[in-house]
Amino acid sequence: MTRTGRAAVKLRRARRTDLDGLDALEREIFKSRLFSGHLISRRSFRRLLASRSATVIIAEADELAGYVLVLYRAHSNAARMYSIGVAVKFRRRGLAGTLVAAAEKDAIRRRCTAMRLEVRADSGGTIVLYERAGYRSIGRAPGYYGRVDALRLEKLLGKEPRQHL
């Protein structure tokens, strides 16, 4: 159990029975046209929940409060944090950071030495969250989000972050 704000939050691996909640949460969190074309479909969530190459961790506080999705590739030492989201009413309580840490812990358990992700280049608050967690820029993906670039970030797991001068 983790305390974030007013409610105790429990983290656990998502199950098939969480499909309805994940689907609804995805639509709530990413309903903005900024993320058009980047929503995870119900069908994809169903497949990911059954996949050995993915981990979906959910946060519950009497209801689904957030999730993080991590993808793994065979013969790769890098995990990919593909998506993370926190329900509007649970934001600004540290839950995103808790989910990031849980994703990293899962990647370490699976013997990964790095976590990578993409983030909208215009998402200042989210970029600060990742930087505080030790992520550093390793590149840019032009037009990844339509007209907006993505920053590619990486964190070395189990080591001090690389120093960029």
Query: If we measure between CA atoms, which residue out of 33, 126, 49, 12 comes closest to residue 41?
Result: 49
Query: If we measure between CA atoms, which residue out of 96, 45, 37, 48 comes closest to residue 72?
Result: 48
Residue 66 token pair? 């957030």
Q: Please give the CATH architecture assigned to the domain spanning 2-113.
A: 3-Layer(aba) Sandwich (3.40)
How far is 109 from 81, CA to CA, in rounded Å? Answer: 15
| Phi, psi (rounded to 5 degrees) for 156 | -80, 130
Residue 111 token pair? 């013997």
The answer to whether the beta carbons of residues 74 and 38 sit under 8 Å apart is no
| Phi, psi (rounded to 5 degrees) for 154 | -145, 145
pLDDT tens, residue order, the chain (165 aa): 555 555 688 999 999 999 999 999 998 887 755 555 568 889 999 999 999 999 999 999 889 999 999 999 999 999 999 999 999 889 888 999 999 999 999 999 999 999 999 999 999 999 999 999 999 999 999 998 888 899 999 999 986 544 443
DSSP at 145: E
